[in-house]
Amino acid sequence: MRIIGLAVFAFSLPLFYALMNGSPAIRRYGWFAIGLAPFIIGYAHLEVSIVSWAFWPGYVKGMIVSLLDSLAIAILLTTRSAPGGKLLLWAYLGYFICSGVASLFATPAMASFLFSWQLARAMLVFAAVTRVARLPDGARQIIGGLSAGVAFQAVFSIIQRLQGVTQASGTMGHQNLLGLATHFALLLSLASMLAGDRRWLPKIGVIGGGIAVILTGSRATTGLAGAGLVVLVILSLLRHRTAFKMRVAGIGLAVLLAGAPIAYLTLEHRFATQSDAGDYDERKAFETAARAMWTDHPMGVGANQYVVKANTGGYSTRAGVAWVSSSRNANVHNTYLLIGAETGYLGLVSFILLFALAIVSALRLAWARPRGPSGEIALGAAVTLIVVALHCLYEWVFVTWIIQYLFAITLGLVAGLGVERRAMLRSRAKRPIAPPLPDAATALPHPA
């Protein structure tokens, strides 16, 4: 099966190259597929392991390639780069290098290399999205793919709820992973609507994203998603108020009010079915173990190594983590602590700088003048990144390949829209200035 999968990947590259060299209509399907892919790759088995570490307890279990990777390569081969817009790329490279430094202290080093490989694939998608987003209709098509993807997950979540599942996970295997992934599609779909996109795709993205969020039964997901929607609408109205935006805001408020009772019932049912754990605070025990590991290894133990080091180094035992497989095989529920323990101060600082630079760049684009539709997308990306950054305080799944892809897509949208804006400003600066019209008094001939 691995040989067949690698053969499919190899043959997909020339196919995608031909399609991306085709007509604009065909290329738009490829751009749409970028946004859709993270939500369906796992379900449709559109990836293959070059090297498989299936039994490794870390979050990266192989040297994997997917059809999204080959599509990204095809886009890079068929489009030209534009000047400028390299700041986020350099920040991304900085995080890649700094997280890779920890591999020098990792045992086995191969496990950490697998994370570097995963990160390199995400950067490949980032570069492709950067080029697509600066093209006419590029960002809109990518967001359309995100909208369709989250709607796909919402359908499976509804089916799971009808089957009696309290916390639906779609096809992603865990409700927390689905919840974090939903932020990207939900908020960017709403931003596309606020930008004036009247297609049905952004609408189903908002509705499907809302359904998926509610059915996860996650407090962090539900609260942060709701807050993100409200903040995005308020900032968009402050940026530029229109009658269409007011209608969208009204519809959004109605959806929130309608979904609130369902979210409440979902959370109530979840906690009613959970047993009382007494005084044991598992989240706190994980964080104690992670901090102790980080203190002993300021350069990090290596990416993709936390579970192994927490157990073999005695950190979980000393922190009082329960002796059950679900606890001993889990990562600390905090992305920043996980990155700090695994990649040290270098990795964490470079990660935070990348996040902060992307948010600041998106906000600058949103409030740049003239305030066109692309600014709404940039604003949606900024709010999305802020919501995800806050959610990372409570979850570790940011380091999985699905979220890495979605993060790269969002950063690529910001970088691409920035390139588009700089190109527009250069074009205006080069535009010749029309000579002043002659004064009416001097233009008319004097009477004889």
**Tell me: the pLDDT tens digits for 70-101?**
999 999 999 988 776 689 999 999 999 999 99
Question: Using CA atoms in the order 30, 79, 66, 346, what is the torsion angle rounded to 10 degrees?
Answer: -130
Q: Which range has the worst mean pLDDT, 94-108, 209-223, 253-267, 301-315?
A: 253-267
Average pLDDT across the chain, whole number: 88
How far is 167 from 400, CA to CA, in rounded Å? 20
Q: Give yes or no for residue 105 having a pLDDT over 70.
A: yes
Assign 278 a pLDDT band (cuts: 50, 70, 90): low
What does the pLDDT read at residue 448?
A: 43
The mean per-residue pLDDT over the stretch 123-133 comes to 96
Residue 161: closest CA among 212, 224, 219: 212
**Tell me: the pLDDT tens digits for 169-211?**
999 989 999 999 999 999 999 999 998 888 899 999 999 999 9
The DSSP string of 1-63 is -HHHHHHHHHHHHHHHHHHHTS-HHHHHHHHHHHHHHHHHHHHHT-EEEEEE-TT-SSS--EE
Alpha carbon of 362 to those of 20, 146, 232: distances in Å? 28, 19, 13
How far is 157 from 148, CA to CA, in rounded Å? 14
Strand spans (E) along 206-283: none
Assign 271 a pLDDT band (cuts: 50, 70, 90): low
What does the pLDDT read at residue 358?
A: 97
Query: Crossing angle, helix 109-133 and helix 401-430, to 10 degrees?
Result: 30
How far is 172 from 96, CA to CA, in rounded Å? 26
Eight-state DSSP code of residue 166: S
What does the pLDDT read at residue 309?
A: 95
What does the pLDDT read at residue 274?
A: 56
Assign 288 a pLDDT band (cuts: 50, 70, 90): very high
Q: pLDDT over 90 for what percent of the chain?
A: 65
Question: Does the CA dihedral 100-361-405-329 come out positive or negative?
Answer: positive
The mean per-residue pLDDT over the stretch 251-279 comes to 64
**Tell me: the pLDDT tens digits for 321-373?**
999 988 899 999 999 999 999 999 999 999 999 999 999 999 999 998 667 78
Assign 156 a pLDDT band (cuts: 50, 70, 90): very high
**Tell me: the pLDDT tens digits for 367-419?**
986 677 889 999 999 999 999 999 999 999 999 999 999 999 999 999 999 98
Query: Crossing angle, helix 67-78 and helix 109-133, to 10 degrees?
Result: 50
Structure tokens at 395: 């979850």
How far is 116 from 55, CA to CA, in rounded Å? 19
Eight-state DSSP code of residue 195: T
Q: Give yes or no for residue 442 having a pLDDT over 60.
A: no
Assign 314 a pLDDT band (cuts: 50, 70, 90): very high
Per-domain boundaries in the chain = 2-425
**Tell me: the pLDDT tens digits for 17-47?**
999 998 888 999 999 999 999 999 999 988 8
What does the pLDDT read at residue 293?
A: 96
What does the pLDDT read at residue 265?
A: 64
Query: Is the N-terminal amide bond of 108 cis, ω within 30° of 0?
Result: yes
How far is 229 from 250, CA to CA, in rounded Å? 12
How far is 210 from 387, CA to CA, in rounded Å? 15
How far is 125 from 108, CA to CA, in rounded Å? 28
What does the pLDDT read at residue 275?
A: 53
Assign 445 a pLDDT band (cuts: 50, 70, 90): low
